[in-house]
């Protein structure tokens, strides 16, 4: 089953979680489109007016073969994949046509039911949000909001509503960093001839096994994919010197670029997530 499709629950309202950007006027804007949500009923429409070859699509949102519809996550853990959710998290009630996947749902109609705003959101902006969304229960305590307005648990979700992705893999980051450093140490530091090769081979084996073990568990979705990617990147980093100078140029250089770009993207998103009010085009 995919993240956002494959299952069409036949029940009434489904509650799920999502984040918003807060505009200068207190409007709640989606991360990837600019029009703010309304207080009360919101109805999704497909923005892809034309299909392949210019044929009109004209379908109601959401459509199983399209990406349209209102998105909401099934659990706090899944919602936190977006950094904005660390400061703004809403429980939305969804109904009409709903399509569910492993991470959350896409819905035709939705209403913001409750909203948690972290301490980073300034009080004057909170007042603007309250004035613009009088029907929404605004919380400054996140646990209280989730307890009062819990997301609906669907069988297709990977994580239960209040579950966070497995924390056990926090060990991965320092171990991966140590392996990266190991990969650039002068070989004579790692023992006599052949010593470095043995240490590297052991590390390569360790990260290959870790990638396979993490990849087989499908319980934490995107976090698991990212961790598998980190393991395989470390393997490539350590394998590169065995291929001589071409290995360093063709394997290590791209890894440094990807790591740098990833870091820049992460830092930009983190800054945008803490910006109140957000820049709305």
- Give me the residues that bind Zn ion (CB under 5 A), please: 46, 63, 66, 68
CB 55 to Zn ion: min, Å = 13
Q: Which is nearer to Zn ion, 63 or 113 (CB)?
A: 63
Q: Which is nearer to Zn ion, 63 or 158 (CB)?
A: 63
Query: Least distance (Å) from Zn ion to the CB of residue 235?
Result: 39
Please tell me what DSSP assigns to residue 36. P
The C-alpha atoms of residue 204 and residue 194 are separated, in whole angstroms, by: 15
Query: Which residues does 167 contact at the CB level (< 8 Å), separation at least 6?
Result: none
Least separation in angstroms between CB 60 and Zn ion: 9
* Closer to Zn ion by Cβ: residue 51 or 215: 51
Q: Which helix (H) or strand (E) holds 232?
A: helix 221-239
Query: Using alpha carbons only, what angle is made at residue 125 by residues 122 and 129, rounded to the nearest 5 degrees?
Result: 135
Kind of pairing between the strands at 104-117 and 21-22: unpaired
State the nearest-atom distance from the C-beta of 187 to Zn ion, in Å.
Answer: 56
Q: How far is the CB of 13 from Zn ion (least distance, A)?
A: 22
Q: How far is the CB of 62 from Zn ion (least distance, A)?
A: 7
Contacts 24+ apart (CB under 8 A), 181-189: 182/238, 183/237, 183/238, 183/240, 183/241
Per DSSP, the residues of 47-102 read S--B-GGG-B--PPSS-TTS--SEEEESSHHHHTTSGGGGTEEEEEEEEEEEEE-S
CB of 112 to Zn ion, least distance (A): 22
d(CA 51, CA 31): 24
Q: Which of 123, 135, 141, 72 is nearest to 277 (CA)?
A: 123
Q: Nearer Cβ to Zn ion, position 62 or 77?
A: 62
Nearer to Zn ion, 66 or 126 (CB): 66
Query: Is the Cβ of residue 27 or residue 62 nearer to Zn ion in the bound state?
Result: 62
Q: Which one, of 265, 239, 72, lies nearest residue 273 by Cα?
A: 265
For Zn ion, the closer CB: 32 or 216 = 32
């Amino acid at each position: 089953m995919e993240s956002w499709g494959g299952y069409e629950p036949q029940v009434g309202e489904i509650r799920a979680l999502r984040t918003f950007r807060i505009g200068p006027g207190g409007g709640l804007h989606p991360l990837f489109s600019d029009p703010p949500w309304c207080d009360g009923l919101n109805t999704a429409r497909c923005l892809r007016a034309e299909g392949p070859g210019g044929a009109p699509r004209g379908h109601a949102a959401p459509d199983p073969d399209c990406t349209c519809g209102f998105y909401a996550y099934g659990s706090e853990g899944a919602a936190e994949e977006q950094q904005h959710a660390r400061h703004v998290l809403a429980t939305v009630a969804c109904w009409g046509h709903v399509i569910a996947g492993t991470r959350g749902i896409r819905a035709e109609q939705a209403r913001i039911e409750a909203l948690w705003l972290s301490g980073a959101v300034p009080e004057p902006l909170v007042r603007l949000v309250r004035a613009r969304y009088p029907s929404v229960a605004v919380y400054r305590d996140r646990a209280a909001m989730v307890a009062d307005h819990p997301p609906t648990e669907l069988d297709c979700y990977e994580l239960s509503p209040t579950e966070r992705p497995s924390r056990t893999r926090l060990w991965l980051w320092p171990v991966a960093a140590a392996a990266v450093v190991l990969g650039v140490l002068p070989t004579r530091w790692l023992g006599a001839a052949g010593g470095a090769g043995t240490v590297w081979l052991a590390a390569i084996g360790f990260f290959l096994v870790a990638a396979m073990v993490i990849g087989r568990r499908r319980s934490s979705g995107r976090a698991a994919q990212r961790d598998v990617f980190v393991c395989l990147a470390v393997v490539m980093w350590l394998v590169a010197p065995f291929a001589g100078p071409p290995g360093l140029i063709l394997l290590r250089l791209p890894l440094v670029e990807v790591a740098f770009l990833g870091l820049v993207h992460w830092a930009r998103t983190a800054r945008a997530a803490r910006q109140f009010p957000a820049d709305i085009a």
